[in-house]
A and B are shown apart, each in its own frame.
Chain A
C-alpha cells in the first residue's frame, strides 16, 4: 500500500515538472529601420502554463521609445493515441520607435516563472536616417507634370521651421513659422508634444484649428503646404540659442490597390530641424538712464483732453506707446509728482496686434485740478533700443500748460476724488530726542515727599494751639489784660523817652500812668487804683526789696514833680529816666 502511494506521488511530481516547462522566443519585424519608422518586437511564450506569464519588463532597452504593447494568446490541443497534449502560446508585441541613429542592441529579456528563468536572445538593430519602408505613393494630383519624382518619404513630407531673423538682440522679437510641406494625401495631423521654448518668452500667434492645405512652389516643385504653428519669441538670454523643433504625427492615406482594397492609413512621425539663433546683448554704452528694457521701434505720444479748466474739474492725460517690439515686457515711463494736480491711479491698456510683436500701450490718467493757477505737465521721455538703427533712441512728449480758473462753485466737489489717508507701512515710533536725563525719582521713596506730608499735618496741632489761645483770651479779661499790659507800658515808655529829651514835665505823668496801669493789669486790680493800693498788692508778691523800693521811689518822684511846687527840675529828668529804664527792665522779667 505504502509503495503504491509512493509511485503515484512520483508520477504527479513528474507531471508537474513536465507541465511547467515553458519555452520563449523573441523576434522583430526588421533589423534596419529609419529614424521615423517603428519596429515591432514580439516575445512569445509557449507551454502549458504560458497564459500565466506576466507582461515582460522591457525597460532595459535603450535607444527606443515604447509606444505601447499588446498581447495575444492561442491554445492548441492535440490528441495522439488517446493522449491529450495542450499547447498555449502567449505573445507580447511592443511598438518601438528609435530615438536616434546608430546601432542598438536589444538586450536579452529575462522573465521568471516558477523558478524557471526564461531568457530571450539578443539582437542588433541599425537605425538610419532614411526610412527603410517603402514610401506610400504620392497623391495623384502631383504625379502629372513632374518628371523627376523622388520616391523617398523625406523628400515628399517635411516640416520646416522658418525664422525671420537669425541674428537678433536680446528681447528683440523673432517670429517662427513651422510649415508642413507634403505631396501625400493626409488624413489627419496632430502635434506630438509642445516644444520646450527654453530661454525665450513665447507668444502664440497661430495654431490651426482644421486641416487646410494650399498649393505652393518650393524649390521648383509643387507641394501642398500648411502653416502648423506660428510663435513670437523674445530671447531672454544671450548667445547661440536653439529654436526647438516641432514634432508632428502625420497619418497618410495609401491608395487602394484594387477594387476591394479601400486603402489604409499609416502613421509617420516627422520633426522639423532645430534652428540656431544668435542673440546679442544690448550695448551698454549710451544707454539712457530711463531705459526700461524696451526693444524694437516705437512712437511715444501724449494727449490731453482740456487745458482750460476750473478748480475741481478733471481732464484726462494720456500717454501712448505704439510700435513693434517687446511691447508687453517693459515698464511704463514714470510721471513726475505734481503739486496742485491730483493724478488718479492710471488705467493701463495694452492692445497687441495678431502678430504679437506690435501693438499699443496706453496709460490714461484722470487728473483733478485742486487749486487755481497755471500749471505745467512736463514733457516725459521714453527710451528704447532701435534694432534697425542699432542704437538707443529717446523720444519725448510735448509738455502741456493747464490754466485752472476759480470755480463758480462755493465748494470744491472733491469728495469723489478724496480718499481716506491710507496706511502705507508701519514701523516703530522714532526715538525721543529731548529729554531730561535725570534718574527717575520715586516720590514714595523720597524723604522730602514725606517731609511735606509731615509739615502739612503739623499745621493741624498748630492751628489747634492757636485756637486754644484765642479761647483763653476771649474767655478771660484779666488774662487778656495781663497779655496786653506790656504793650501799654511800652506805649507810655515811648512817650516818656520823648519827653525826657525835651525836659517836659509830662514825662512824670507818662511814667506814672504807664507804670501804674501796667502793674494794675499784671496784678489784676482796677486800672484807676492809687499807687498805695498797687504797692500794697506788690508786697504780697514775691518781689525783691530792691525792686520794690525802686518802684516806690519812682512813684514818689512822680508825685513830687507833679504836685509839689518846685518839685520839678530839669536836672533830675535825666537821672530819673535812667532809673525808670532799670526798673522797667527788671519788672518785665518778674512773673506776677
Chain B
C-alpha cells in the first residue's frame, strides 16, 4: 500500500514538471515568433517570463541579450551575454555577440593582457565549461579507480610497474582537471562583476555627490564591484580606476 502511494506521488510530481516544461516551451516559441516578426520588445517580454520561472540556460540569456540589443539597450544586452558566458564560458554565440556589441559602447573596454602565460591559462580555463570539466574529472577518476582495482585483482603476484605508471599519469591529468573544475566552480561564486545599464554614471571619490568627480562611464561598461554602502558602491574599472557610483546604475552579472 505504502509503495503504491509513493509511486502515485512520483508520477504526479513528474507530470507536473512535464506540464510546466511544455508551458515554458510554448512561451519560448512565442518569443521566437515575435522576434522573427521583428517585435523585439514583445519577444523580450516572453523570454523574461521564462527567466522569471527560474530557468537559466545560456541559450535563453543569449536570446534576451539579442532582444535588448535590438531595442538599443546596449548595457542590458552586454549584461545578458555576460550572464550566458558565466554559466557556460564556452558558449560561442554569446561570445561572438558580446564582442560585437562591445564595439557599440562609448567607453573602450579593457584589453586582454598580452602576457602569453595569462592568455594560455585563460584559454585552458575557458576551453571547457564547468560541467564538462566536472564530467571529465569524474571520468578520469573512474579510470583511475578501474586501474587501481585491476592492479589489486589481477596483478597480485606480478610486476606492478606498468599499471602504477598508468595510474600516476592518469592521476596527474586528474589533478589538473580537478583543479580547473574547482577554480571555475569558485569563480562562478565570485559575483563581483557588474555591467553599467544606465546611459552614464559619474564616479566620485566617496559615497556622495559632494566628493570629487573621478570619472564618467557610459552604458555597457564592465567593471568589478568591491564594496557596497547604502546606495553607493565602490567599483574598480578595468584600467585600475576606482570610484563610487550609485548602485542603481548597474546590475550584477550573477543575480
Contacts between chains A and B (CB distance < 8 A), count: 89
Residues of A within 8 A of B185 (CB): 442, 444
Residues of B within 8 A of A432 (CB): 59, 62-63, 93
Alpha-carbon distance A432/B32, docked complex (angstroms): 8
B32 touches A433 (CB 8 A): yes
Specify the main secondary structure of chain B where it touches its partner: helix
Alpha-carbon distance A466/B21, docked complex (angstroms): 47
**Interface residue A457 (Cβ < 8 Å from any Cβ of B):** yes
Residues of A within 8 A of B60 (CB): 435, 437
Residues of B within 8 A of A441 (CB): 131
Contacts known (A428-B101, A457-B145); A439 close to B96, Cβ less than 8 A: no
Alpha-carbon distance A464/B152, docked complex (angstroms): 7
From A444, A452, A463, contact of B181 by CB (8 A): A444
**Which candidate, B110-118, B134-142, B195-203, B221-229, is the interface stretch facing chain A?**
B134-142
Residues of A within 8 A of B93 (CB): 429, 432
From A431, A443, A459, A463, contact of B66 by CB (8 A): A431
Chain B nearest CB, measured from A136 CB (Å):
72
**Interface residue A192 (Cβ < 8 Å from any Cβ of B):** no
From B87, B101, B145, contact of A456 by CB (8 A): B145
164-197 of chain B: CB within 8 A of chain A: 181, 185, 188
Chain B nearest CB, measured from A430 CB (Å):
8
A449 touches B134 (CB 8 A): yes
Chain A nearest CB, measured from B199 CB (Å):
20
Residues of B within 8 A of A456 (CB): 138, 141-142, 145
How many chain B residues touch the partner (CB < 8 A)? 43
Contact with B along A425-469 (1 / 0, CB 8 A): 011111111011111111110000100110011011001101100
Alpha-carbon distance A436/B96, docked complex (angstroms): 21
**Which candidate, B7-15, B48-56, B236-244, B245-253, is the interface stretch facing chain A?**
B48-56
Residues of A within 8 A of B145 (CB): 456-457, 459-460
B156 touches A443 (CB 8 A): no
A467 touches B59 (CB 8 A): no
Alpha-carbon distance A433/B31, docked complex (angstroms): 10
A435 touches B153 (CB 8 A): no
61-115 of chain B: CB within 8 A of chain A: 62-63, 66-67, 69, 87-88, 93, 96-97, 100-101
Alpha-carbon distance A439/B56, docked complex (angstroms): 5
Residue ID in chain B nearest A467 by CB atoms: B152
B131 touches A443 (CB 8 A): yes
Residues of B within 8 A of A436 (CB): 57
Residues of B within 8 A of A426 (CB): 100
Alpha-carbon distance A355/B69, docked complex (angstroms): 55
From B35, B54, B57, B100, contact of A435 by CB (8 A): B57
Alpha-carbon distance A441/B141, docked complex (angstroms): 21
From B25, B43, B69, B153, contact of A467 by CB (8 A): B153
Chain A nearest CB, measured from B179 CB (Å):
13
B149 touches A429 (CB 8 A): no
Alpha-carbon distance A215/B134, docked complex (angstroms): 104
Chain A nearest CB, measured from B91 CB (Å):
10
From B24, B62, B131, B152, contact of A442 by CB (8 A): B131
Residues of A within 8 A of B88 (CB): 440
Alpha-carbon distance A429/B130, docked complex (angstroms): 24
B156 touches A467 (CB 8 A): yes
Contacts known (A443-B131, A453-B141, A456-B142); A435 close to B59, Cβ less than 8 A: yes
Residues of B within 8 A of A428 (CB): 66, 69, 96-97, 100-101
Chain A nearest CB, measured from B209 CB (Å):
36
45-70 of chain A: CB within 8 A of chain B: none
Residues of A within 8 A of B43 (CB): 431
Alpha-carbon distance A440/B85, docked complex (angstroms): 12
A439 touches B153 (CB 8 A): no
A429 touches B97 (CB 8 A): yes
Alpha-carbon distance A464/B43, docked complex (angstroms): 60
Task: Give 25 CB contacts A-B under 8 Å.
Answer: A428-B100, A428-B101, A429-B97, A431-B35, A431-B43, A435-B57, A437-B50, A437-B55, A437-B57, A438-B21, A438-B57, A439-B57, A440-B58, A440-B87, A442-B185, A443-B130, A443-B134, A443-B138, A449-B134, A449-B138, A456-B141, A459-B149, A460-B152, A464-B152, A467-B152
Q: Which 5 A-B pairs have the closest CB atoms?
A: A435-B59, A443-B134, A431-B63, A432-B59, A428-B97
Besides the known contacts A456-B142, A457-B145, A467-B153, 10 further A-B residue pairs in the complex with CB atoms under 8 A apart: A428-B66, A430-B66, A431-B43, A432-B62, A440-B56, A442-B185, A449-B138, A460-B145, A460-B148, A467-B152
